Structure formats: structure tokens, C-alpha cells
Structure 1
Amino acid sequence: LRGPLGFRCLYLDEYRDRLFVGAKDALYSLRLDRPGADAKEIHWPPGPGQTEECVRKGKDPVPKFVAAFLIPDSDDRDDDKVYFFFAEKVAEAEGKEHTVLSRVARVCVNDAGGQRVLVNKWSTFNKARLVCSVPGPGGIDTHFDELEDVFLLRTKDEKNPEIFALFSTVSAARHPVPATGSAGCVYRMADIRDVFNGPFTHRDSPLHQWAAYEGRVPYPRPGVCPSKTTSQPRHQYSTTKDYPDDVLHFARTHPLMYKPVSPRHGRPLLVKTDLQHHLRQLVVDRVEAEDGHYDVLFLGTDAGSVLKVVVLQNAASATPDEVILEELQVFKTPVPITQMEISVKRQTLYVGASPGVAQVRLHRCEGYGTACAECCLARDPYCAWDGTGLALGPQIRAMQISARSLRYGSCHLIPWFAVINRL
């Protein structure tokens, strides 16, 4: 799909085999199997006065809202929450300097606001700092403060997906790494929930430092949802409008949690400071293998290219190793990639930028040559070696292992799932 789309967003519907593309004044529906055929278009221009209204409501772009996901916290559906990820400009304690920090926030799906306080406003909103930093000498960490993108990797437990987030540095003056530095961090939902169940942040005046709130927290605890868990025999809370005024006053004055959310293992999964361009978009595919799993990251840049990176856990070190498998120039002109969607079912990556939308295969095994050694050195979990013929008997199991893991062994440059299908 090409043309001056003013492209902004993608939505992948694998159930209907459609890709929906949001563009300027238009919405497109494309077939996944044949993108150029049976394309549908809805012309959707703004109504009278809507453009001017958007301009009037514009805020300081301190670059921003990034993503939102509905993630259940328990088996009680009344306890479901929406988690938001964004970056915002905040004032330092002395009020003389502003900085950009990344946040994770949440609000109950059944939040109806208050009856007398916070009327028609969120009454269960809490937020916390999202930290992605590299430990440095002397206890001085290098922080990647500006959130660029978030990818939710679903697991078998719908309550505990893994959160992959892409960050960049804000300025070279505040950090010892170049301004083009980027980092990727992974967060566990258990750690996020622990922060929201912990102490609130409080300060007595704008001139004081932020500290943990040590006073009495009203019941029901601000931020919890009206549900069976919240209600008591004498206090039935079927809606947030039933919450006492002291709960809503506290929620309005104490939205920030004291502890930050730290990444898994306390450090980034990926750090890149030597790239000529900025990393803007992130999607992840988890490849299962006999010895565990491998995460393949697809990183969209502001130059129209996509980096394919595999993360390898190093047994001798707590720091994972990342290997750039390839960099594909998706768009001829160096335009920023604004959105990416991955289809594991079709083994395809859909990439969007202002000139249009492109589809890219997750694997291009033919690019690694024709020798077994080249395959092993490539370390691409999508590609495997099947020898010179069809393996039989005990060799079948060995071929499955070598096809699905990144170990040495016989591997032929074809997609690993094709090897399994042939067996």
C-alpha cells in the first residue's frame, strides 16, 4: 500500500485475515493473503470545526502517550484494569528544572468517577515511574528516560504477560552515553503490581522532597476496583460512586507511587549506543526451543529500516548478548517507521511509515549462504539445517533439536518449522 497516506496506525485482525490501516482522512482494510487485492477504503475526513478543536486542545509534546492494554489482575472480571504507558515532563524538587520521565499507570475498567469528588473523572488512577537504566561505576546509573514503544508478549497466563519497552536517551548532557543511545527492558507484571500495592508518594509542599507517605491510607485503598474483593458486609461498593469522599480526596492528591518499576534482572535486555539512527518501534517474537526460548526483537528506526536482533542468555554472565541478524531497508527514503505489527501465524512483519505499508518475512534463510558453518554462525533461530537428505529414526529427534535451538550441529538453511513439517 503506497501513496501520501499520512499514516498513523495499524491493527492486525488475524481471525478475519485483515490488516486495518489508519491514515489521514481514511481507513483501509487489506487482505493478509493478497494485500493488493480486494482492498477497501473508507473516506473519513474531519467534520466542521473538529480540526480547530484538536488544535485548541493541543498540549506540550514532551514526546507522549505510547500504549494501553487491558490486563486482568485476578479471576474476578470486576477487578480488570487498563495499563497505560507514556512519557511526561515533570519538575524537579526545587522547581527550577524539568525532565522527561517514563510512566506506567493503571485505572479500573469499571471506574465511573466519584459522586461528589472527582465527578466524571478517573477515581482509581495511579502511576509509577518506569525505569530502564544501566548500572554504572560509583552507583551512578545511565538512565534511558524517554519511552518510545511498548510491546505486550502474551503468555499462557493471561494475567501475567511480559512487557517489552523501548527507550532512548533524552540528551547527551544528562547522560554519559550519546544522545542516539537506545535500550530495551523487560518487565514482569508481578513487579508492576508490587509497586502499585506499595507506598504512595507524598510531599508537604513544592519546596520539599518527595517521600513515601507514612500516614493512614483510607479504605478501600485508593486505586482498587469496586468488586467482591473490595466489599465488606457493612460496606458494599458496587461502583466507585459509592467510595467515601476521603478515599477520592486521597486519590486526587496522591496519584504517584513511591517505588519505581525496575526491569527484569535489574538491567536492560538490549543496549545500543553505536547506531547512526534512532530506534522508534518494537515487536517481539518468542521462538521456543528444546533448551528454552529465544526472543527475536524487530526494531524499527527513524531511517526506514528494521533491525532483526536475537537475544542470547549468557550462562557465564548475567548480561544477555544481543546479535543483530540483519538490517533490512524497508523503505527507500529514510522516513521514520511509525508502527509495526507481527503475525506469527503468517510469519510476517507489517511495517508502516508515511509512504505506506510494507510486509516483510520474519526469516530470509537464503541470505545466509549454502554451508552449514554459515548457518551456525548466523545464529538465526528461524533457520535450520536438514542435512543432505531426510533424517530417519533417532536422527529425527536430533534434527528437531538442532532446528529449534541455536546450538552447533547439522542445519540446512530453511525455516525450522518447515523441517518439522517434513518429518
Structure 2
Amino acid sequence: MQITTVSDTVPLRQRPDASSPAVEFPKNYPFSVRTTDSLVNVTAVDQVWSQVTVDRGGGKGPTGYIRTSFITTIPLPSADVSYEDFLRYCVSACLLYEVDVAYLMAVARVETGGSWNNAQSIIPASVMAAQATGPSGPFQFQTSTWKATIAQIDPKFAYKMQDITDPKAQALCAAHIANQGIEQHLHKFNGLPSPAQLYLYHFLGANDAQAVLSDPGRAVDLVLSPTVIQSNPSLLGQPGAAHTGNQLLDIVAMRLRAGYQANAGLFANPPAWWPLPQASTEATPWLNTALQEEQAGVTEAAGSSSNPRISQFLESVGFPPGRSDDTAWCAAFVSWCLKNCGDGTAAAAAKSVKNSSYAKSWLDLPMQLPEPRIGAIAVKKSHSRDVTGHAGFVAAINNDGSIVLLAGNQGGLNNNGLDKVCEITFDREEFLGFRWVG
């Protein structure tokens, strides 16, 4: 990819005429195009003049006329970026957009990790370089996707087309897409996405991702163009022999798992600038409270009756007394444990969460953890169509990275359809995020 710019500073004219006054941008300030500017929407109007728009951020800016002879193209520069610097950019972006930093780093590994230099802990300039055709950078942005994304994010960042080689800009735009993807998925499917589903919003864009996810049992070549499939055969298969959406999700989940594992060392010993709080090694009384409820065998009542204990859980998030245990109650169980464990900090954290009956709301707790810790609140997609998400506590972390989730409103599959407080093991790549009480 090359940037279109000017060979020398030149006034941006209001008309294709050397005597025309310069465009004012901002008002009362005659504007000149500099060699550091990039031009978009270049259109020749005659043999001498071209109409151009100067990219001042998001592909937008002042429009006017310059002599065509001043227009030139130059390759975009690129440089190595250290793992630590790239992690810093991703953390900053994830704090802004409330996205799991481990997920974002795993996406970058999936996209370009095979070209990273683990021996020197750098992402080489060859990854950062803008490509003449095809995607660019650690998150592999297509030019069209980049242009659309920088037009959507906060104008204060003023990212331009040439910033596609900037790792900080790439991280911020990838976090924006993840944040938007969660909201778009919630709106379309009334539930949180798994990380593998969320990745499809980055990989395919929202429309194609939702087309695949609407009927994951069918072959993806029924909804994706042959060009898209041919350019990504390892994920999508081949036209006429394409993978199904479920097969695609399995492949993505496997690659994300490898990405989480490859990045785990980056989170083990965070640098001095690390803004995310590390999990405390102190006691976790809320987990002890949850374990007591598990040992007590709290289970939904059969038939039309309800377990009064579960009704108490639901009351802790604002439901009226006696609420039926048919109501999704995993988030209510988290809230009740925090409020009744005897720890003031935990109780205050529970009270701070708005709409605490929803699993997703627990991601609003400010103490984000990049990796699971015993006692952390964990949030994932639900496996039930009538529940928006699932939340519980990390009870254990297995050697293979899988997570034992102690939660309410689960386990019904092996209990005659009656959910209970119990422990179930899930793969690491099923979780959207982890939060600490504090």
C-alpha cells in the first residue's frame, strides 16, 4: 500500500485556478497541503488540476484543488514493534473499549502470530508494513475496513489512512470492532458471543458474521462470496466444499486457544507500567460462600414450585420476593455471594454493578484481569437461547488452561433439566473476560 501525498507544500485552492484563494480550514485559516498529509478521493478535472480531499482523520477533511503535477505516491514506512510496546497499545485500547486484552492479543496472534519473532520478542516490520494488495498490520486490516473503522471511532484520535501501519492505531481499531461486535451480537441474537463468534466480526465484518452465525449448520459458501472463501481456504474451505459455520467456529476456537497459550507469558510478569490490577492473593470469602451453597445442594425445584433459596438470590438483584427459579439466576448468584460473604469490599462491588441480573453487566467492574485467577468473576456466552450470558466464579484452573466455573443456573443437562449451583469445566477460549472484586 502506498500513500498519495504531495511532493511539496502547496495551497489547496477553492477553484482549479492559480488565482483562486485557498480553502479555509478551519475558517479564516488558508489551508496548504503538506508532504506529511495524505490525499483521498483524488479526481482529475482537466490536464492541470485535480480535486482532492485531505485526510484529517477518518478519511475526511477539506476538499479543494491542487495542480496534478504536485501529486505523488510514496510507500508507507513500517518498523519493528516490541511485544511490550504492542501489549501496552492493546491494554490501552481495551481499557478504553472495555474489551478483554487477552482476547485482543489472541486475535493478533491468530492473524499474524506465525510471523512474530519470539526469540527477540518483536513483531517485525514485515508484519507492520502496508501491503499493496491484501490486509496489513498485526490485525490484518483490509484497506476498505480500515477506512470504515477510522471513520467510526472518536474523532479525537484523527487516524488517517497512513496510520494503518501504526500498531497503536491498529490495536485501538481492533478493540473498537470487538466492542461493536459484542453489542451487534447482543442486538441480533439476544446473547453474548463466544470469543470465536466475536472473532468472526473482526474477520468477516458484522453482516457476513451474522449471516454465518444465523445458521451455523450450513456451508459458509451459501452466504459468503467465492472471493472471500478463496482468499481464506484454511478457515473457510473451498467453494463447493466449504466448511460449515460450526466447523469454522471450531477452527477459530482452536486457533484462539493457541493464541491465549502463546501470549500467557506476556501476562505472567507484567511490566511496571501495567495499569490492570493483579488479582489479590488474599482470601476470597465470596468463593467460600459459593462453595457452601454448592455443598448445600442448591437446585431448582421440580414442577411449578420454586426453591426459596434461589428466590433469595434473585431478590439480591432487584427481583421481588418469591420470584420463580425459572428466571435465569447465574448473575443473581454472583451478586448474592458477594453481598453475603461478610466482605465489605465485595458487597460494595456488587452494589456498584448496574443491571446486575445480566451476566454482561459484571464486565463493567473496573478491575479487569487478563488471565483467570481463583475467585475471579468470569463471564461467557450462554448455551441457552433464552439467556443473554453466563457468569460465575473461577474455582480452579487446570493444567491445560481450562477453567472450572462455580456458578448457579448450570448443570441441568445432567440433572433432569433442573439447574443448580455446581462446578463445570469450560475451555479458556469460551470466556469473554474476568473481573476482580475491589
Q: Name the TM-score, length of structure 1 as normaliser.
A: 0.22
Where is the strand percentage greater, Structure 1 or Structure 2?
1
Q: Which has the larger radius of gyration?
A: 2
Where is the helix percentage greater, Structure 1 or Structure 2?
2
Q: Name the TM-score, length of structure 2 as normaliser.
A: 0.22
